[in-house]
């Protein structure tokens, strides 16, 4: 059996760590975990690389070490930093430069630079699978509640980039599958402060979310490239 190589960016996160665990348990899969800090408790055979979106050299070096890949999931992301008083906006008057800059830096610019270094290096002769974790909140047509301006805007921008990458790679990598995936509400550091009143019980665990995301990503085909899909494989309108 030939070994397939998968990489997870944001491997220290709730969903990212669960993705690494599940892929590492599979036979014939070589897993690379990308994170900006130390990674403890990962299976010994998982390879580790440093990736910090604020350090261009780390993006370049990680992508050079990785190619060629069979699968990549970008599970980095930012919603709040309660310690710095940054939380999702409930009104337009709560918008701050700091929240917008942070959301754009981590949810858009970092993944874009990673893509810019990596996607053109993907193998051209097989159905490589690439997912960026987006969010239903980044759908403009689905937005009925408003609020969460910086996060919503950053995820809408990420969805747009995914569409651009899919169009651009269609010519050189006709079998590639490049999508945005919404994991559902998942009990992680990112979401927990906002899961009050029983919603925590309704949220997926990171392990459930990882299982769902891998199952969806494995059923998609090149015809789906550029789309946004939820944890059950249902398309989300931009
Ligand atoms: N949880 C949910 O309910 C939910 C719902 C919809 C969409 N999503 C999306 O799913 C993705 C994963 O979320 P999660 O819930 O697993 O969040 P999480 O546990 O907070 O993980 C976020 C990950 O992003 C990494 N990261 C943050 N800033 C970075 C930077 N500058 N450079 C490199 N890595 C950086 C974090 O690294 P550190 O550990 O070093 O901070 C961590 O590994 C996000 O894109 C999120 O928007 C989540």
Tokens of 55: 């350090």
- 236 in any annotated domain: no
Above 90 in pLDDT, residue 163?
Answer: yes
**What mean pLDDT comes out for the span 112-136?**
97
Residue 103 counted as domain residue? yes
Number of the ligand 1 atom closest to the C-alpha atom of 184: 5
pLDDT of residue 44: 85
Range of the domain at 196: 4-230
50 lies in a domain? yes
Alpha carbon distance 151, 89 (integer Å):
9
Q: Is residue 31 in some structural domain? A: yes
Task: For ligand 1, atom 12, name the residue with the nearest CA.
Answer: 75
- Residue 151 near residue 88 (C-beta atoms within 8 A): yes
Question: CA–CA separation, 162 vs 115, rounded Å?
Answer: 9
Q: Is 235 within a domain?
A: no
Ligand 1, atom 13, lies closest to the CA of 77
Residue 235 pLDDT > 70, yes or no? yes
| Residue 227 pLDDT greater than 80, yes or no | yes
Does any domain span residue 53? yes
Mutate to test the pocket of ligand 1, among 15, 20, 110, 162 (most ligand atoms within 8 A of CB): 15
Name every protein residue with a CB atom under 6 angstroms from any ligand 1 atom.
10, 12-16, 35-37, 51-54, 75-78, 106, 110, 133, 135, 182-183, 185-186, 188-191
Kindly calculate the radius of gyration of the chain based on its CA atoms and give it in whole angstroms.
17
Predicted confidence (pLDDT) at residue 75 exceeds the cutoff of 60:
yes
pLDDT per residue as tens digits for the range 23-41: 999 999 999 999 999 898 8
**Which has the closest alpha carbon to 73: 162, 142, 1?**
162
> pLDDT at position 43, please?
85
Flag whether pLDDT at 67 surpasses 90.
no
Rounded to the nearest whole angstrom, what is the distance from the C-alpha of residue 55 to the centroid of ligand 1? Answer: 17
Instruction: Measure 1 CA to ligand 1 centroid, in angstroms.
Output: 33
Per-residue DSSP letters for 197-216? TTHHHHSBPHHHHHHHHHHH
Q: Whose CA is nearest to atom 31 of ligand 1?
A: 53
Q: How many CB atoms lie under 10 A from the CB of residue 113?
A: 15
Count how many domains the chain has: 1
Examine residue 238 and state whether it is found in any structural domain, yes or no. Answer: no
CA 178 – CA 134 distance, rounded (Å):
12
Question: CATH number, domain at 190?
Answer: 3.40.50.720
**End-to-end CA separation in angstroms for the chain:** 39
Mean pLDDT across the chain:
96
What CA–CA distances, in Å, run from 127 to 38, 60, 108, 123?
32, 24, 25, 8
Q: How many helices (H) and strands (E) does the chain have?
A: 7, 7
Quick one: pLDDT at residue 198? 60
């Amino acid at each position: 059996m030939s070994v397939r190589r998968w990489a997870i960016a944001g491997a220290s996160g709730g969903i990212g760590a669960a993705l690494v665990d599940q892929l590492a348990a599979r036979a014939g899969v070589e897993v690379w975990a990308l994170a900006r800090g130390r990674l403890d408790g990962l299976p010994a055979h998982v390879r580790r690389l440093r990736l910090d979106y604020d350090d261009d050299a780390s993006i370049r070096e990680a992508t050079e070490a990785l190619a060629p890949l069979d699968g990549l999931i970008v599970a980095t992301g930012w919603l709040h930093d309660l310690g710095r008083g940054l939380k999702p906006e409930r009104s337009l008057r709560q918008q701050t430069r700091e929240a917008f800059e942070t959301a754009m830096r981590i949810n858009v610019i970092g993944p874009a630079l990673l893509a810019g270094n990596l996607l053109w290096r993907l193998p051209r002769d097989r159905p490589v699978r690439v997912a960026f974790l987006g969010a239903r909140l980044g759908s403009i047509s689905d937005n009925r509640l408003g609020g969460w301006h910086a996060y919503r805007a950053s995820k809408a921008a990420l969805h747009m980039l995914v569409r651009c990458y899919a169009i651009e790679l269609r010519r050189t990598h006709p079998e590639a599958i490049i999508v945005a995936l919404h994991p559902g509400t998942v009990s992680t550091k990112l979401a927990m402060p906002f899961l009050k009143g029983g919603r925590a019980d309704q949220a997926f665990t990171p392990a459930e979310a990882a299982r769902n995301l891998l199952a969806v990503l494995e059923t998609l085909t090149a015809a789906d490239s550029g789309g946004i899909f939820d944890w059950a494989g249902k398309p989300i309108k931009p």
